[in-house]
Structure 1
Amino acid sequence: MVTTAEAGTTASPCSLAVFSTDGKKVAMKETGGTGDVYIVKYKQDGVSEEIDMDTKLFLPSTSTVQAGVFSPKGTFFVTWERPSKDANAPGNLKIFDATTGSHLTGFHMKNPAVPGVSWPAVQWSQDEKIALRIATNSVFIHRGASWSEPDNVLERVTVEGVKQFSVSPGDRYRFTTFVPEKKGNPAKVAVYAYPNTKTPVTGKSFYQAEEVTTSWSPNGNSCIVFTHTTVDTTGKSYYGSTSLHLLSADGSQEDYAIPLPKEGPVYDVKWCPDPLKPFFIVLSGSMPSQACLYNAKCEQLFLFGEAHRNTVAWAPSGRFVGLCGFGNLAGDMDFWDVNKKKKMGSNTAHCAVGYGWSPDSRKFMVSTTAPRMNVDNGVKFFKYNGAGPIGSIDKEVLYEASWRPAAHGAYPDRPQSPLRKGEAPPAIAAQPKVARYRPPGAGSKGAGFAERLRMEREGKGESKKVDRSSAVAAKYKAPGRGGSGMPVGASVPAEKEKSKNAIKREKQKKKKEEVERKKKEEEEAQAILDAGKKEEEEKERKEKENGPEAKEKRAKKIKKLLKQISELKGKPADDLNDDQKKKIATEDELTKELSELGL
């Protein structure tokens, strides 16, 4: 059953619901009746917007569909169903016209739920003029708006072993391809630009990469390649290894391996959705993880601090961000104003499975859904600063919950609202409780197990701006130890006298440095002399070229050429070849040059 929370509209029971990017259409699949997929629009009467069930547009022969997606402008709808055992059956990946409901074409495709398989399997450019489709060892580029034409394929890009691809947003036709490791050869990611697809614009090869997640910047100028493996050969993690690389889409910048502020796995990486703000956030490191804000040159700008978080959730405006611990974590959430680099509030959503921001960036939703969680299914709503929950919807069984999307820029970018009179700000952190007495020096050893877990869960790292002017980071000192490596409070032993050999080595080192310094000074002085000599020789050469002898020599040559031209002009024009005609055409130029010589 599909229910819209704003208007309470309820559609017939269905097993699939997919919005178009602008939120004007939604595709659903009936569980009763024919079981086919149908597309409906939203009523827009200027007062309220509700699903108009009278506009049902059924897509033929879609009763076995299991996945679907709209094209960027909502012009087409792509469906996937399990392949038929019949060899003559049409393709299980189908493309429909979302306006008329007609079936345009079909292809064959594996299960998109299998790791390493690209979904959507057909990806359009943002203007829908071209569309890309992956096949065995190839990526096909189609005319995005005319699937019924016989010459629909514009180009076939051959990439041996290609398994994944991703099309960039923006107005430039760029896409990535991924070839996993095979027989000792490294994995490869390449960036192509249509129509010049003979060679990639840039690329990267690396090991420890069975599959990748490609994350494009909203303007399409850069992409982050998030590599994964199921097994970590170093033995540092049970969950495989991860790495991050930033590729420039036009090849104008270097390709970066993104430096992490804390060693360990990468949990999430997300670009700011505002195309004018080329920033991204990475959550990485052994738990509690560290969240870091980067610019498009992979320079660290701000550390949000360490906490048990594994999810980055940007608001559509790009002003707010939620750093959350969902899945197998406790559900703690921190909400930040990225413009001000300030935490607005915190909250907790236990057993959260899904999440999402409202299109106007003013509310945050979390959902508990089946089949992962079969109890306490429902949705909770929080304010942008974490206050709440301000509302909830409970369901006996809930499979999915999502906001109706809106086109980028449909809502203004609003800053934080001032607190009302008497309104308390949302809790940022729990107030510290009065601790029981511990003997001096006991530290955390005297804490109970539950208290130690609480201390770790709340995080230990403070948020701070990253000092990019410092080239070398301060070295880590183990807690409870002084700068000399002695216990805190212990007297530092006196420095031992240097041995005779040590003194001798030091003298030899100083002598060697002095010799090298003198040698360098001599080389620099010689270089200055050589440069002066070269300059004098160049000056003499120019004077010689412009001297009387050089002028006479040039004048003699010009007169000879003019004489030859005069002889050629006396011959019939039909007897002259192209070179002779070109020579005659230079007569005026040679005459002018001769007069300028003044000889």
Structure 2
Amino acid sequence: MAGGGGPDMEVSDEELMRRAGLRQPQEVCGISSAIVVDNIPEVGKERLAKLEAVVMKIMSRFGTIVGKPYFPIDDNGVTRGYVFLEYRNEKEARSAVETANGYRLDKSHIFTVNLLTDFQKYMDLPDEFTPPEPAEYTREENLRAWLQNNDAHDQYAVLYKGGEGCSIFTNTPNEPVPVHEKDYWTDKYVKWSPQGTYIASLHAQGVILWGGENFSRKRRLFHPNVQMIDFSPCERYMVTFNGAPDHDTDPQAVIIWDVRTGEKLRAFNGQQHKEWPIFKWNFDGSLFARMTENVISVYEAPGCNLLGKESLIIRGVRYFSWSPTDNIIAYWTPEESQVPARVALMELPSRIEIRTMNLFSVADCKIVWHGQGDYLAVKVDRFINNRKKATVANFEVFRMREKQIPVEKLELKDTVQGFAWEPHGTKFAIIHEPQAAHGVSVSFYEMAADKLKHIKTLEKKPVSHIFWSPQGQFVVLAGLKQSNGVFEFYDTSDMTLMNVTEHLMATDVEWDPTGRYVVSQVSWWMQKVDTGYIVWSQQGRLLQRHSVDRFCQLLWRPRPKTLLADEEVKRIKRDRKEYSKIFEVKDRMTHSKASKALVERRRRLMSDFTEYRRRVESEITEAQRKELRGGMDQEDGEFDEEIVEYLVNVDEVILK
């Protein structure tokens, strides 16, 4: 080296690289960024340009393709069914292999994508088979661990800071217990799966599914600019929507995914649909359907092929809905010329109409299923005054479990603003505004064994929404948004008003899955001040109040359907008084422990403050104190004395 250093001063290249914090360049295979896409259409020279454009459009989503794709051609000038592509680097190539493998171009062509370097690996396999070493057993996370909580406490997700923060809490009677917290968990919003197994987060590149005790990443579904998501009731499938333009050969707006494997099952166009969800699932997730003009298309899962040879052609169909417990769809068609409007029930896959009803002077219909599929309510808006004005005339209520499906008619002739079935029961509630009165009324009805029975009407109520407990019986009548945030809690077993509360500017209400708690929220997405949420008991007693910075949403974690038989559930309800004694003792112990913990916490804080004050006082000298008082000594200084009087009480004596 320069400077006359001897051999002992020589430093190797490896040592210089190590000291500089650099790694020595490694030899890289020139084909590590190349891939092979198999199972593409075999076409002649006249269609090669179109095939190249389609392949480039699809594969360019996963990275930047370098150069032109290479299509091997046989002696007849026809492509051999595979193509070679090269990306900028190996990372993009591997991303294309992971994401595009299994891509369905059409029914006959499903892509198989591999790295070009993998072919050499497969060619170098030994002639004799050597059984691999058995992999060490890895225990999978319990995806339903939260159900093992001894006190059956539920969890909920909170999105705050305008969407920048997201936390999972366990709800306890005194205060929520943090379970998991993460910043920038999502770019838009989060959503629980129907049975609570996963929580999905939306991102610019697609959707991520999280689950397990530590909420680790389980699946990643690549769908750029995804806007909306929806699960099947069985949680096995997911539908994603990103609003991409319709394309005849390469639809990308709507994609059906297999949640267990992350496999893309099929893509559909979505521009012609104006409501979400585009696809509606039957009760067990085996069928899904969508509606276009005059057509209802029903598909089977997981194949995503049409049920039968063709779609249902129903002239003028406006709306349809699945029964929540049976393979039955309800739909309605409007009047046309001399043909009346019609509501029909069709059983699938037989396509037999099991019940129809003709309606006249119809402006619109709304179809609402009972949660257990026992009843179907059709709200009919009828024309009056020569079709110049529409008003609600009646409800048609179908008894689905009775022979020939009889129909009950309820005539209101009022403007209806809301309707809701009791989830587990036979009641329903209607918000309506009588024409001859000022104010809103809420009426409760019951589907008795022989007739439709009116229970009670509450008049002049500040109500805009009805929220039934998931278990039935209890209901919250809420005035949301511009209705002053008034909440009335009712027990519908005897129509007792349990409490009247208030949450100003409340925007949402969410019952927990067990029906023990209800949450009112002020979302930052709708209101920019006083955001947060309040937890109430089912009787309307305030339990917790939380002010949260830019609070966006609170979502209770759903619970799967109980495994108990109906007879066992009825027995537990019948013996509820015996269980309640045990729970009351446990609740008192819980509150006692909580009160003791609170006292201990306050004592600890006071002790810490006293110690801090003593330490600071010992560090500051008298001279420093005098300097802080502007050089004035407390003993010889002049102070103004001020007397403050407080009114303690007032005794009022009446003299006769």
Give the TM-score normalised by the residue count of structure 1.
0.59
1:402 Cα deviation from its structure 2 partner:
2.1
1:352 Cα deviation from its structure 2 partner:
1.3
- Determine the C-alpha separation between the residues in 2 that align with 1:249 and 1:144: 26
Q: Is the 8 A contact 1:264 1:284 kept in 2?
A: yes
Q: Is the 8 A contact 1:351 1:368 kept in 2?
A: yes
The C-alpha deviation readout for 1:329-354, integer Å capped at 9, x for no partner, is 12211111222432221111221111
1:37 and 2:207 matched: yes
Aligned match of 2:353: 199
- Determine the C-alpha separation between the residues in 2 that align with 1:204 and 1:354: 37
- Determine the C-alpha separation between the residues in 2 that align with 1:196 and 1:87: 30
The C-alpha deviation readout for 1:65-121, integer Å capped at 9, x for no partner, is 211110001000011221416554414221111111111012223476x4xx4x432
Q: Is the 8 A contact 2:246 2:269 kept in 1?
A: no
Give 2:342's match in structure 1, choosing from 185, 188, 210. Answer: 188
Aligned match of 1:554: none
SS of the residue 1:329 aligns to:
coil
- Determine the C-alpha separation between the residues in 2 that align with 1:311 and 1:19: 23
Aligned match of 2:398: 247
Aligned match of 2:321: 166
1:401 and 2:554 matched: yes
Aligned match of 2:68: none
- Determine the C-alpha separation between the residues in 1 that align with 2:404 and 2:481: 39
Q: Is the 8 A contact 1:124 1:144 kept in 2?
A: no
SS of the residue 1:65 aligns to:
coil
- Determine the C-alpha separation between the residues in 1 that align with 2:324 and 2:475: 21
- Determine the C-alpha separation between the residues in 1 that align with 2:201 and 2:186: 9
- Determine the C-alpha separation between the residues in 1 that align with 2:336 and 2:429: 31
Which has the larger share of strand?
2
1:282 and 2:437 matched: no
- Determine the C-alpha separation between the residues in 1 that align with 2:258 and 2:558: 21
Q: Which amino acid aligns with 2:395?
A: L
- Determine the C-alpha separation between the residues in 2 that align with 1:387 and 1:235: 48
1:103 and 2:264 matched: yes
1:550-565 residue pairs with structure 2 within 5 A?
Answer: none
Aligned match of 2:281: 124
1:59 and 2:214 matched: no
Q: Which amino acid aligns with 2:440?
A: P
The C-alpha deviation readout for 1:171-216, integer Å capped at 9, x for no partner, is x211111324556865432111123324352234243434x43211
Q: Is the 8 A contact 2:334 2:362 kept in 1?
A: no
Q: 1:232 to 1:109 in 2, by over 3 A?
A: farther
- Determine the C-alpha separation between the residues in 2 that align with 1:40 and 1:228: 44
- Determine the C-alpha separation between the residues in 1 that align with 2:536 and 2:474: 13
Q: 1:232 to 1:19 in 2, by over 3 A?
A: farther
Q: Which amino acid aligns with 1:213?
A: K
1:395 Cα deviation from its structure 2 partner:
2.5
1:15 and 2:188 matched: yes
The C-alpha deviation readout for 1:127-173, integer Å capped at 9, x for no partner, is 223322323322222223332xx676566322112232110011x21
Bigger RCO of structures 1 and 2 (CA < 8 A, at least 6 apart): 2
Greater alpha carbon shift after TM alignment, 156-165 vs 180-189? 180-189
Aligned match of 1:339: 493
Q: 1:225 to 1:234 in 2, by over 3 A?
A: same
Q: 1:359 to 1:155 in 2, by over 3 A?
A: same
1:269-418 residue pairs with structure 2 within 5 A?
Answer: 269-274=419-424, 277-286=425-434, 287-295=439-447, 299-306=452-459, 307-388=461-542, 390-396=544-550, 398-409=551-562
Q: Is the 8 A contact 2:499 2:541 kept in 1?
A: yes
- Determine the C-alpha separation between the residues in 1 that align with 2:358 and 2:190: 37
Give 1:141's match in structure 2, choosing from 255, 275, 298. Answer: 298
- Determine the C-alpha separation between the residues in 1 that align with 2:369 and 2:361: 22
4+ long deviations beyond 6 Å:
234-237, 410-421
Flag structure 2 segments of 5+ consecutive residues without an equivalent: 1-162, 171-177, 564-568, 589-656
Q: Is the 8 A contact 1:16 1:67 kept in 2?
A: no
- Determine the C-alpha separation between the residues in 2 that align with 1:65 and 1:298: 48
Aligned match of 1:486: none
Q: 1:345 to 1:304 in 2, by over 3 A?
A: farther
Q: Is the 8 A contact 2:196 2:557 kept in 1?
A: yes
The C-alpha deviation readout for 1:495-551, integer Å capped at 9, x for no partner, is xxxxxxxxxxxxxxxxxxxxxxxxxxxxxxxxxxxxxxxxxxxxxxxxxxxxxxxxx
The C-alpha deviation readout for 1:227-256, integer Å capped at 9, x for no partner, is 458x9869999x965753213447724323
- Determine the C-alpha separation between the residues in 2 that align with 1:87 and 1:348: 53
Aligned match of 2:31: none
- Determine the C-alpha separation between the residues in 2 that align with 1:349 and 1:155: 52
Flag structure 1 segments of 5+ consecutive residues without an equivalent: 44-49, 422-599
1:125 Cα deviation from its structure 2 partner:
2.1
Q: 1:71 to 1:232 in 2, by over 3 A?
A: farther
Q: Is the 8 A contact 2:512 2:518 kept in 1?
A: yes
- Determine the C-alpha separation between the residues in 1 that align with 2:522 and 2:345: 38
Q: 1:42 to 1:267 in 2, by over 3 A?
A: farther
Give 1:221's match in structure 2, choosing from 363, 368, 374. Answer: 374
- Determine the C-alpha separation between the residues in 1 that align with 2:528 and 2:558: 27
- Determine the C-alpha separation between the residues in 1 that align with 2:211 and 2:490: 35
Aligned match of 2:236: 75
Q: Is the 8 A contact 1:191 1:249 kept in 2?
A: no
